[in-house]
């Protein structure tokens, strides 16, 4: 297919809406033409079909921290495709998956030792929730069926993840089919106390006491697990206050409730450590991961669990299947090979140290936007940051479209959700690229201030 044919086919397919886009205003995107079509990508930049180059401010969707088109990753993919492109993962395995599981367990906090592979964050979360329910049942404690999520939490779009998630717009259409027995903690963000915090807010550990309220309401004997993102990414980088996660851990331990950290965004370097759990010094019973583990190049997700959980499942006759769960592509050889190369590069290039160094650059640059009249809050942790804008009643959706469009014009691909712009630049960014990114964002915000 030559380039011209490809382009015209693309235009026709867009105008007909053949590709129903995820989490998108489909009619708007399809009506806008070439500048919403990505043609190629290299390093921290995308080239759009209209020829524009834009900086990747969110590392794809938090998933491509080593940048695009990395030659070593491309080569790993090619080699693995030649050697073993697929093998069933049921009742058998292969070297890339087994060694990757051992490697990930080694990178995880002490005590988390076994890995169950899935293909996405959503699958990882639903797997972890099933493991939590199964764990208690196998221990003769089947009354523990409740799952506790958190307001403004995002755990993907499976029925489990959606139910424990706390984003109203994702939930309301499916209110009648939510999982039973789910409740939510209040979210850990209080603007009045924590606005413009750099890193972790000092105030707010007390918000974890909300878990005691839910325990008092439902009784601990009915609660299987609590699931939280250590840093709430999708709803705009809500940073845990100092002591908050420690308190959640203490309450869970006291009541025999499993604690799950959803590290789909925070895992593999985003916090300057392998996992956010290590950054915050709190060890959960399970960690879910996805995204950066393969630099977003081949889908992969998974759950890391403690020995206690794993051993609880390993009972009954040896010939019996212990956990009737899994995916055709669990531990896919291409994903596993790519993950090994991604982890090699992260190790060799000292990525955690690099993220820590870039964290202070991003912090300083983002907080310098405080003088803008449209800014309501600025926050950051690791290589993430968010700008929260003063609400624009009834114009919020329109403003977010406008911000995105102005961003493309100025050379930055922005992730705008409602009144919040979130940032998770690639780990390979230079300090200059981060400064330039925020300078461009300043221009975008100034332009938007003229309209709203």
Contact residues for ligand PLP, defined by CB under 6 A: 120-122, 125, 154-156, 229, 233-234, 262, 264-265, 290
Taking the complex as a whole, the smallest distance from the CB of residue 126 to ligand PLP amounts, in Å, to 9
Contact 140, 132 (CB under 8 A): no
Q: Cβ contacts of residue 382 below 8 Å, gap of 6+?
A: 231, 266, 270, 271, 272, 276, 279, 355, 359
Measured CA angle at 413 (ends 341, 271), to 5 deg: 50
Packing angle, helices 95-107 and 333-348, rounded to 10: 40
Pick between residue 22 and residue 71 the one whose CB is nearest to ligand PLP: 22
Q: Which is nearer to ligand PLP, 232 or 433 (CB)?
A: 232
193 vs 286: CA distance, rounded Å? 31
Least separation in angstroms between residue 431's CB and ligand PLP is 26
Nearer CB in complex with ligand PLP: 154/310: 154
- Using alpha carbons, select from 218, 211, 227 the residue that is nearest to residue 162: 227
- Helix, coil or strand: residue 288: strand
State in angstroms the smallest separation of the CB of 265 from ligand PLP: 4
CB of 161 to ligand PLP, least distance (A): 6
The whole-angstrom separation of Cα 214 and Cα 376 is: 31
Give the residue from 281, 274, 262 showing the smallest Cα distance to 200: 281
Q: How far is CA 382 from the centre of its chain?
A: 14
Are 223 and 144 within 8 A, CB to CB?
yes
Q: How far is the CB of 393 from ligand PLP (least distance, A)?
A: 27
Closer Cβ to ligand PLP, 276 or 448, answer by number: 276
Q: What's the min distance (Å) between Cβ of 384 and ligand PLP?
A: 11
Residue 175 — left, alpha, or beta (φ > 0 → left; ψ -120 to 50 → alpha)?
alpha
Toward ligand PLP, which CB reaches closer, 290 or 345?
290
Minimum CB distance to ligand PLP, residue 446 (Å): 29
- In this structure, what DSSP letter does residue 33 have? G
Nearest in space to 38 (alpha carbons), one of 65, 69, 66: 69
Residue number, 73 or 293, with CB nearest to ligand PLP: 293
Provide, rounded to whole angstroms, the least separation between the CB of residue 185 and ligand PLP. Answer: 15
Q: What is the 3-state secondary structure (H, E, C) of 265-280?
A: CCCCCCCCCCCHHHHH
CB of 52 to ligand PLP, least distance (A): 26
Residue closer to ligand PLP by CB (options 62, 404) is 62
User: Please, what is the end-to-end C-alpha distance for the chain in angstroms?
Assistant: 44
Q: How far is the CB of 229 from ligand PLP (least distance, A)?
A: 5
Cβ nearer to ligand PLP, comparing 109 with 230: 230
Nearer to ligand PLP, 248 or 448 (CB): 248
User: In this chain, which residue has its C-beta nearest to ligand PLP?
Assistant: 121
Nearer Cβ to ligand PLP, position 89 or 424?
424
Segments of 140-181 assigned E as strands: 146-150
Beta strands of 229-374 (E only): which ranges?
258-262, 286-289, 301-306
């Amino acid at each position: 297919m030559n380039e011209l044919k490809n382009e015209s086919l693309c235009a026709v397919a867009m105008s007909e809406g053949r590709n129903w886009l995820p989490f998108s205003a489909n009619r708007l995107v399809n009506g806008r033409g070439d500048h919403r079509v990505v043609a190629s990508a290299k390093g921290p930049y995308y080239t759009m079909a209209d020829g524009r180059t834009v900086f990747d401010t969110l590392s794809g969707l938090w998933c491509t921290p080593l940048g695009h088109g990395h030659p070593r990753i491309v080569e790993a993919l090619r080699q693995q495709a030649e050697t073993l492109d697929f093998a069933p993962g049921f009742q058998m395995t292969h070297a890339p998956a087994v060694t990757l599981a051992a490697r990930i367990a080694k990178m995880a906090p002490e005590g988390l030792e076994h890995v169950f592979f899935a293909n996405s964050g959503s699958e990882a979360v639903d797997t972890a929730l099933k493991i939590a329910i199964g764990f208690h049942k196998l221990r003769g404690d089947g009354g523990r069926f409740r799952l506790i999520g958190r307001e403004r939490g995002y755990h993907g779009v499976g029925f489990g993840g959606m139910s424990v998630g706390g984003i109203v717009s994702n939930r309301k259409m499916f209110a009648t089919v939510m999982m039973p027995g789910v409740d939510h903690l209040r979210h850990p963000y209080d603007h009045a106390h924590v606005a413009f915090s750099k890193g972790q807010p000092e105030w707010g550990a007390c918000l974890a006491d909300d878990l005691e309220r839910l325990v008092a309401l439902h009784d601990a004997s009915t609660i299987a697990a609590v699931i939280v993102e250590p840093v709430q990414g999708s709803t705009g980088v809500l940073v845990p206050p100092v002591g908050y996660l420690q308190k959640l851990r203490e309450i869970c331990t006291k009541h025999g409730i499993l604690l799950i950290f959803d590290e789909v965004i925070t895992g593999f370097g985003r916090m300057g450590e392998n996992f956010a759990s290590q950054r915050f010094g709190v060890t959960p019973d399970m960690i879910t991961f996805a995204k950066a583990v393969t630099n977003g190049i081949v889908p992969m997700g998974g759950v890391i669990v403690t020995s206690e959980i794993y051993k609880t499942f390993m009972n009954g006759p040896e010939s019996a299947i212990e956990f009737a769960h899994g995916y055709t592509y669990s531990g896919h050889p291409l994903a596993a090979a790519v993950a090994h190369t991604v982890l090699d590069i992260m190790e060799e290039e000292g990525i955690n140290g690099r993220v820590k160094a870039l964290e202070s650059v991003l912090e300083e640059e983002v907080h310098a936007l405080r003088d803008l009249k449209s800014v309501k809050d600025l926050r950051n942790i690791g290589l993430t940051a968010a700008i929260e804008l003063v609400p624009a009643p009834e114009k919020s959706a329109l403003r977010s479209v406008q911000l995105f469009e102005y961003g493309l014009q100025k050379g930055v691909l922005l992730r705008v959700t409602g009144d919040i712009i979130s940032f998770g630049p690639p780990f390979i960014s230079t300090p200059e690229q981060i400064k330039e990114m925020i300078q461009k964002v300043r221009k975008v915000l100034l332009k938007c201030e003229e309209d709203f």
